[in-house]
Amino acid sequence: MRQLSLVVTCTDRKVDTPDAALCARNLPKGSVKERSSNWQKRIQTATARGGASLPSLTDLYRGDHWTRARRLTVAASAAGFKTQLWVASAGLGLQPVEPKTETAPAYAATFSTRHADSVATSAAENAQWWGHLQAGSGQAQLQELGQRGPVLMALSEAYASAMEEELLALGSLGGEALLIGGLREIPGIHRVRSDAGLRHALGGTLTSLNVRMAESWLQHSKDGTLISPATRKAWNEWATATTKPEQYNRQPMSDDDVIVFIKRETAKLPGVSRTRLLRALRDDGKACEQSRFANLYKRTMGER
C-alpha cells in the first residue's frame, strides 16, 4: 500500500480551556520572530510541566471539523492507501496526530486576523510566523511529506496563505498532491476549490466542508492513485451533478436565545471573535441579523 499523508487544519475547540499564558492575545509586543520564540517557550514549558497528563493530539481538538478529519484515515484506507494524519496548527506547527504519545496543552492561536488570539495582523506576518514556528517546533514540512508519497491537504484560505512557501516547494516536486480548499492555484498541485453547494449532500458545518470534500474525493478514488484521470473524472461528474446554490432557510431566534448562545460559546471558547460567533450561529441553521447580533453581543459581554 502507498503512503498517503493527510494534512488538515486544527480547530478552535479544544478539550480544555487554555491557560492565559497559552492565549496568543497575551503575548508581549515585538517582532514576529520574538513573539513566535516567546510562544514556543510557553508551549514547551507547559508540555514539560504537564507531562503524561496532557491530552494526545488526537484528543486535544473537538468539534465537527475534527471528527470528520479523523475519519479521513478510514476513507483513505478503503481507497487503498496506508495513511498518516497530520495537523497544521498556528500554535504547534505541522505535527503528526498519531501515535498518541504526541501530546500538547490546550492553546488559543489562529491565523484568522480578526480573532482575539490571532498570531499576527496580516497575511505576510502569518507566513513569517509559520516559518519561525516550523523551524522551532514543526516535525515536518510539506515537501518532506511529498517525498514519502502522495499528499492530500484540506486547508482553509488563511492556513493555505500562511503555508504558501511550503505549498510551492511541495508543488515543485512533481509528485501527487491534492489541495481541497486553499487560497489560490499552486503549480504542481491539483486544487479543488471549496464548494458550499455540496454541503446539502455532504452535510455538516461550513468549517468542516473541506474535510468532508476530501473524504468524498477519496470515496471516488478509482485506482489507488490520488489524482488519476479516472478519479478526477469520477469526482467532477459527481460534483457537477450534485452541487446547487445554498438556500438559507434559517430559524429565527429570540434575543434571549441569542444571549444564551453567546454566553455558552464564549465560555467554551474564551476570546472568540464576534464575527466567528455569528458565523457559527448561522452555520447551525439559526438566523440573526448582523447589527442585532452585534448589539446583543455588546450587551452580553458588557461592551459599550
Question: What does the alpha-carbon distance between residue 3 and residue 76 come to, in Å, rounded to a whole number?
Answer: 10
Using CB atoms within 10 A of its CB, is residue 35 exposed (0-12), middle (13-18) or buried (19+)? buried
210-247 pLDDT tens trace: 999 999 999 999 888 999 999 999 999 999 999 987 66
User: pTM of this prediction?
Assistant: 0.82
Cβ atoms of 61 and 14 closer than 8 Å: yes
Phi/psi region, residue 93 (left: phi>0; alpha: psi -120 to 50; beta: rest), is: left
Distance CA 284, CA 251 (A): 9
Gap between the terminal Cα atoms of the chain: 59
**Residue 13: half-sphere exposure toward Cβ, Cα within 13 Å:** 16
| Strand pairing class (2-9; 81-89) | parallel
pLDDT of 4-55, one tens digit each?
999 999 998 899 999 999 999 999 999 999 999 999 999 999 988 877 789 9
DSSP state of 61: B
